[in-house]
Structure 1
Amino acid sequence: MPDAPTGVSRALREAPPDRVVEAADRAIRSVLGASGTVVFVADYRINGLWPVLDSRQPDAAAHALQGPLQRCFSSQQPVRAAATDGSCQLYLPLSVWGERLGVLMVEMPEEPPESVVRRATDIAGEVALALHAADRETDRYRRARRQERLSMAAELQWELLPGRSVSHGSFQLAGQLEPAYTVGGDHFDWSLDDGRLTVTVLNGDGIGLTAALLTAVTVNAMRNARRSGGGLVEQAELASDTVYYQHRGHRHVATVLLELDCATGRAQAVDAGSPHLLRLRGSTVSRVPLEQQLPLGMFAETRYALQEFDLDPGDRLFVVSDGVWGADPSGRETYGERAMARAMRATRLQPPPEAVGTVMRELQAFHADADLRDDAVVVCLDWQGPDGRAD
């Protein structure tokens, strides 16, 4: 079956965007001799995987992140589950450039040899790429992801995100927003260009739709400067001026802007009143010492200065908003005093997409599983060194 990925690729390209799953099923049955397939997508909270079924089938049920589904999604490796009748379910990660979309389950009539598993893994990559592209042309896959209605503010925020994770030879990066279905002003953005990674994390002023609109303006102003070739200072200053001349200092956005040289680990930063930046080096958690400057939009013509620091291979950075750092649901010490460091250390063996989930779960437990009182954003960045191998 040397042309297996090619045959599936053609079928996916020719399929309407809302029928990628059906096209994949037909092609995989034909190419691999499978007896069936199921595409699962991760929900907004990443605490369950949901089958993409026809909208006329209301009995779609969540599959909790456990068993072979969980092992596949977490490890990003193929997982086999043999049945007593000799058949086998093959679970394959659906991911694109480090963005974890879900899992493809392929039902095989018998235990497949390793060569078939490799072909199936390649096919899953083709399916993931097709789903990633089709997601902009149909609402079908987004409906499968959401298990309750998003607020208008959350709809804006999720549409504005670049993704939830991305990987490169020298780094891994992931972020998460909570409360996922009602988040307002907190946000993150990133872009990789010519070996330089730009990351911004924002803590927008206000709540609900008002905060989301303010964040949308700020993010797009920074993108405008960045896409025009501007560095961090120009991005911060254009965004600050844009917010100021719209709101005359009555609204502002606390922001941290980072740019990482992926070859050297040298980082530049603009700390504009910012979310909190912490480094995990080995088992030691420390604040990255940055001089805090004015939040974006407080005054006209505010000027910003660059600061620099170095990362060692294996360093992990967390950027968290006030909704994480300053959480104090019962009037006791804030989450950032000690609980945040404990949560960070607990993530040492986890990749960033798992690590942000761990910190968010610990934050939820800190709130005694009650709804978060404030928006929360967690971004995790691992720099693995220029050759991709941490010391």
Structure 2
Amino acid sequence: MLADLLHASHLMPVEALPAQASACAAAAGFHQVLIYLADLQRTKLCLLAESEEAARRHEAELPIEGTVAGRVYQYGGLMPASPAGTGEFEWWVPLLDGTERLGLLRVSARHNDPGVRSDMEALASLVALIIVSKRVTSDALAMLVRARPMSLAAEMQWNLLPPRTYADGRVAISAALEPAYDISGDVFDYAVDGPSVHLAIFDAMGHDTAAGLSGALALGACRNARRQGLDLIGEGEAVESALLEQYDHQRYVTGILARLDTRTGILRWVNRGHHPPIVIRDNRWVTHLACTPGHPMGTDLGLPSTVCHEHLQPRDRIVLYTDGITEARRRGGREFGVARFTDFLIRHHADGLPVPETLRRLVHAVLEYHEGRLQDDATVLMSEWIGPALEPAREAADLTGLASDGPGEAERGHGYDQVHGHERPGA
């Protein structure tokens, strides 16, 4: 089954995937495979159909809130898609590329046993990898997950951003940003380099295409400097130099540049005119990390940059954010605020939600608080230091909703599948 689908995928457009997956899955006793992908804002699941006729035979969209399919998307694991006693066995199976929640498979099978459900998970893993391999060249996929037109700045940003979620045994990282179709100046970044985890968040002046260009320039300059081996101060100076060369003091970008040593838990960061990082400890204590800020990048004010240090404890969460998160307000009302923001993260973590799901709900709460329309980009990047060891990675799996309650998990044991590691942004 898997070998046939993998072989067919090399010369197959993504529109042919549903039919090809069903045809290959028949060898394992699966008589129907439906593919649903989450939309950009993660409010609904959209059917990837091979034809209009096929789309009419099934539900084209399923809401994430209040449905069995949505629950599987939010929490992970396998769940039945049809009532017991119907004589037909149907399951919702998460589609995961690493720790990215792409969507779900709905699989119909002739039998119901641990081996069948394990085969479903293997099929879902391969389908997810094929979708990701086709995503960068498929406008069909891009349009499927969009509910409305996207601004030019947002089109650029979504194609520059790293995966929205990454996890291994040492660290779990997740990010969220709104307004999804109109983001412009906010960007986030992270990368893993051996034991080091690089984190960055930028907020460019304005909320237009020029802000998007400034944010993109800052992101590119930061990555370029980092990959040449520059330190945190050097990264900030590289961003400033690029902005000055391009805009000559007319545009600026604030930001946090940070590095976490996963061997020791030492966090180093530089603040360039931005809100300070927050550390949440034991899911109770909130600390705002003080560090003398340098000037915003692109202003050339001559203020020195300072590298500050914090010794983290295992399970500490570092939170970087932009002012659109905390300054969102209702008409005539108070700001969403830092206290409400951190309380939201603490309460939903205590409820046992996966980190990506907590952030999905956070940005929806911010949107609702602002009556559905943000006046500024709202971005949050959260990284939890688990400890120095890559294995076992059970905690990382739990944090990102990768752990399955299905029989496939029992058969695999509690080890972490090393293929599963990252979540790419939708666009």
TM-score (norm 1): 0.91
Aligned to 1:247: 247
Contact 1:179 1:375 in 2 (8 A): yes
Aligned to 1:28: 25
Residue 230 of structure 1 deviates from its aligned partner by 2.6
Structure 1 residues 144-159: aligned runs within 5 Å: 144-159=144-159
Q: Against the structure 1 CA distance between its residues 303 and 127, is the aligned structure 2 distance closer, same or farther, given a 3 Å change threshold? A: farther
1:91 counterpart residue number: 92
Measured after TM superposition, the shift of residue 85 of structure 1 is: 2.2
Q: Answer 1 or 2: higher relative contact order, Cα 8 Å, separation at least 6.
A: 2
- Contact (CA 8 Å) 2:15, 2:50: kept in 1 or not? no
Question: Aligned pair count?
Answer: 385
**Counterpart in the other structure of 1:76:** 76
1:298 to 1:197, Cα distance in 2 relative to 1, 3 A: same
Letter in 2 for 1:322: D
Contact 2:294–2:304 under 8 Å retained in 1: no
Q: Which residue of 2 aligns with 1:37?
A: 33
Report whether the alignment pairs 1:352 with 2:355: yes
User: Which has the larger displacement, 71-80 or 197-206?
Assistant: 71-80
Q: How far 1:332 sits from its partner (Å)?
A: 4.1
User: 3-state DSSP class of the match of 1:176?
Assistant: strand
Q: State the match for 2:381 in structure 1.
A: 379
Q: Is contact 2:321–2:381 with CA below 8 Å preserved after alignment?
A: yes
Mapped pair 1:52 → 2:48: yes
**Following TM superposition, by how much is the alpha carbon of 1:256 offset from its aligned partner in structure 2, in angstroms?**
0.8
After TM superposition, the structure 1 = structure 2 runs for residues 292-307 of structure 1, keeping only pairs within 5 Å, are 292-299=293-300, 304-307=305-308
Distance 1:334 1:174 in 2: 24
Task: Please identify, of 94-103 and 335-344, the stretch whose mean Cα deviation from structure 2 is larger.
Answer: 335-344
Contact 1:161 1:188 in 2 (8 A): yes
Tell me which residue corresponds to 2:415: none
| More displaced 10-residue stretch of structure 1: 70-79 or 178-187 | 70-79
Relative to structure 1, the CA distance from residue 330 to residue 172 in structure 2 (aligned partners, 3 Å threshold; closer, same or farther) is same
Matched residue, 1:9? 6
Q: Report deviation, 1:315.
A: 1.4
**Given residue 356 of structure 1, which amino acid in structure 2 is its aligned partner?**
L
Structure 2 SS opposite 1:35: strand
Is the 1:43–1:50 contact (alpha carbons within 8 Å) kept by the matching residues of 2?
yes
Residues 1:114 and 2:114 aligned together: yes
**How much has 1:331 moved relative to structure 2?**
4.4
Contact between 1:11 and 1:27, CA under 8 Å: does it hold in 2?
no
In structure 2, distance between residues paired with 1:11 and 1:363: 43
Contact 2:81-2:91 at 8 Å conserved across structures: yes
Give the TM-score normalised by the residue count of structure 2: 0.84
User: Which stretches in structure 2 are left out of the alignment for 5+ residues?
Assistant: 396-427
Q: Is the 8 A contact 2:276 2:290 kept in 1?
A: no
Counterpart of 2:189 in 1: which secondary structure? strand
> Offset at 1:153?
1.3
Q: Is the 8 A contact 1:237 1:304 kept in 2?
A: no
C-alpha distance in structure 2 between counterparts of 1:376 and 1:55, whole Å: 37
Quote the Cα distance in structure 2 between the aligned partners of 1:228 and 1:97.
27
* Structure 1 counterpart of 2:130: 130
Give 1:94's aligned amino acid. L
The gaps in structure 1 that reach 5 residues or longer are none
